[in-house]
Amino acid sequence: MIPAAEDPALELRNVSRRFGKTVALDGVSLTIGAGEIICLVGRSGCGKSTLLRMIAGVDTIDAGRILLNGDEVSGPSIFVEPEDRKIGFVFQDYALFPHLTVEQNILFGLRGRPKKAAAYRANEILDHIGIEHLKARYPHMLSGGEQQRAALARALAPQPDILLMDEPFSNLDRGLRDRVRDETLSLLRRLGTTVIMVTHDPEEALSAGDRIVLMRSGGIVQTGSGYDLHDRPVNPYAAEFFCAFNKVPGVFREGHVETAIGRFAQRLELGEGSPATLYIRPQGISVSRGGGQFRGHVQSRVFLGDVEQLAVKVDGLEQPLLVKTMLRLEAGTDLVGLVVSPESCLAFPAA
Q: How far is the CB of 42 from ligand ATP (least distance, A)?
A: 6
Judged by beta carbon, residue 54 or residue 310, the one nearer ligand ATP is 54
Q: How far is the CB of 98 from ligand ATP (least distance, A)?
A: 24
Q: How far is the CB of 341 from ligand ATP (least distance, A)?
A: 33
DSSP lists the bridge partners of residue 347 as: 278
Q: What is the 3-state secondary structure (H, E, C) of the chain?
A: CCCCCCCEEEEEEEEEEEECCEEEEEEEEEEEECCCEEEEECCCCCCHHHHHHHHHCCCCCCEEEEEECCEEEEECCEECCHHHCCEEEECCCCCCCCCCCHHHHHHHCCCCCCHHHHHHHHHHHHHHHCCHHHCCCCHHHCCHHHHHHHHHHHHHCCCCCEEEEECCCCCCCHHHHHHHHHHHHHHHHHHCCEEEEECCCHHHHHHHCCEEEEEECCEEEEEECHHHHHHCCCCHHHHHHHCCCEEEEEEEECCEEEECCEEEECCCCCCCCEEEEEEECHHHEEEECCCCCEEEEEEEEEECCCCEEEEEEECCCCCCEEEEECCCCCCCCCEEEEEECHHHEEEEECC
Q: How far is the CB of 169 from ligand ATP (least distance, A)?
A: 14
- Cα–Cα distance between 223 and 215 in angstroms, integer? 9
- Residue 56's nearest CA partner among 15, 92, 86 is 86
Q: Are 338 and 292 in contact (CB under 8 A)?
A: yes
Judged by beta carbon, residue 69 or residue 92, the one nearer ligand ATP is 92
Judged by beta carbon, residue 42 or residue 284, the one nearer ligand ATP is 42
Residue 2 burial (10 A CB sphere; 0-12, 13-18, 19+): middle
Q: How far is the CB of 45 from ligand ATP (least distance, A)?
A: 4
Give me the residues that bind ligand ATP (CB under 6 A), please: 19, 22, 24, 42, 44-50
Q: How far is the CB of 312 from ligand ATP (least distance, A)?
A: 33
Q: How far is the CB of 348 from ligand ATP (least distance, A)?
A: 24
Q: How far is the CB of 267 from ligand ATP (least distance, A)?
A: 32
Q: How far is the CB of 55 from ligand ATP (least distance, A)?
A: 12
Judged by beta carbon, residue 64 or residue 284, the one nearer ligand ATP is 64
- Cα–Cα distance between 154 and 166 in angstroms, integer? 15
Judged by beta carbon, residue 25 or residue 280, the one nearer ligand ATP is 25
Judged by beta carbon, residue 102 or residue 164, the one nearer ligand ATP is 164
Judged by beta carbon, residue 18 or residue 189, the one nearer ligand ATP is 18
Judged by beta carbon, residue 92 or residue 104, the one nearer ligand ATP is 92
Judged by beta carbon, residue 53 or residue 154, the one nearer ligand ATP is 53
Judged by beta carbon, residue 23 or residue 350, the one nearer ligand ATP is 23
- Residue 64's nearest CA partner among 22, 21, 24 is 24
